[in-house]
Amino acid sequence: MNEISCFIYINFMSLIAFQIFVFNICIKIFIMKVFILCGGHGTRLDNLGKIIAKPMARIGKEPLLLHIIENFYLQGFNDFVICTGHKSTTINNFFLKEKKHLVKVIKKLKDYILIEVKFQNKIFRCHIIFTGLNSGTGGRIKIAYSKLKLNEDIIMTYGDGLSNVNIQKLKNFHYKNDALVSLTAVRPKQRYGVIKIKKNKIIAFDETKSIYMESYINGGFFVLSKNALKYINNSFTYWENEPLTKIVKKQKVFAFKHKGFWQSIDTLKDLEEINYLFKIKKYSWKFNG
């Protein structure tokens, strides 16, 4: 091989390597599916939780679910897997009836609806999958993942949490650490006094700043490698219990610390608080880059 041919060959191979690199980056950035767990019973929302799916609770005129989707869309994600259960028809009816003028139905089966939604000049796809009335959180992931015949890493979150967490940074953090699971760690909303009890008597009460500042809780935004999903045994498995505990023991769960806005909508009081922020146009949960 002469020098010119060798030069052309090397440059050609470099181009191929670069294209593969770009392709892999694009796969991770744009095609990664976002699983949103929407099947819980919402018992702490009182009567509201008995008549609608929890993610259908309204913030302003739109449901919590749409606010969650919008935040992901703003960060380059447009392919969502909605794992439904309790009051699943309220989610189906929202898209197929209330927003039917914005929705194109691509596929409609008994437990699976694939739609394309155009909302506020945004276009995204939703795979709405019924994952059972009493399935665990891990079970819902497993059922939907199997239904779509996937073999890839995913983003996962719950249908009751709002945050301005940077998902791209979370994802980069995940691959940098070669993690099986990366979760967003957030600070508790309120300070909690730490008490020591002996024979039902409080023997110490500590509300120092240092204890609070070191406290983190699961913020509910995950990157899950496909191999992590093998730890989900069946439809009744709760992701937060056995699967996550086992992976923690293998030291393959990493915490991405988020210091920005985070709010879980667990109670009517939480819903009132987030609606107040919406009313005064303080959209603290919106990602702004």
- C-beta separation of 53 from 87 below 8 A: yes
Residue 120, Cβ neighbours under 10 Å: how many? 9
Token output for 26: 């694009």
Of the CA atoms within 13 Å of residue 32, those in its CB half-sphere come to 27
* Paired strand residues for 143: none
**Per-residue pLDDT at 217:** 85
**Residue range 237-249: mean pLDDT, rounded:** 92
Q: What average pLDDT is seen over the chain? A: 86
- C-beta separation of 239 from 232 below 8 A: yes
Of the CA atoms within 13 Å of residue 138, those in its CB half-sphere come to 17
**Per-residue pLDDT at 203:** 39
Q: Is 267 helix (H, G, I), strand (E, B) or coil?
A: coil
Question: How much is the pTM?
Answer: 0.84
Least confident of 11-20, 102-111, 155-164: 11-20
For the chain, helix, strand, coil in percent to 5 are: 40, 25, 35
**Per-residue pLDDT at 41:** 86
Q: Domain segments of the chain: what residues?
A: 33-186+221-279
What class, spelled out in words, does domain 33-186+221-279 have in CATH? alpha beta
Distance CA 258, CA 266 (A): 20
**Per-residue pLDDT at 192:** 46
- C-beta separation of 57 from 65 below 8 A: no
**Residue range 49-76: mean pLDDT, rounded:** 95
**Residue range 215-232: mean pLDDT, rounded:** 93
**Residue range 171-186: mean pLDDT, rounded:** 94
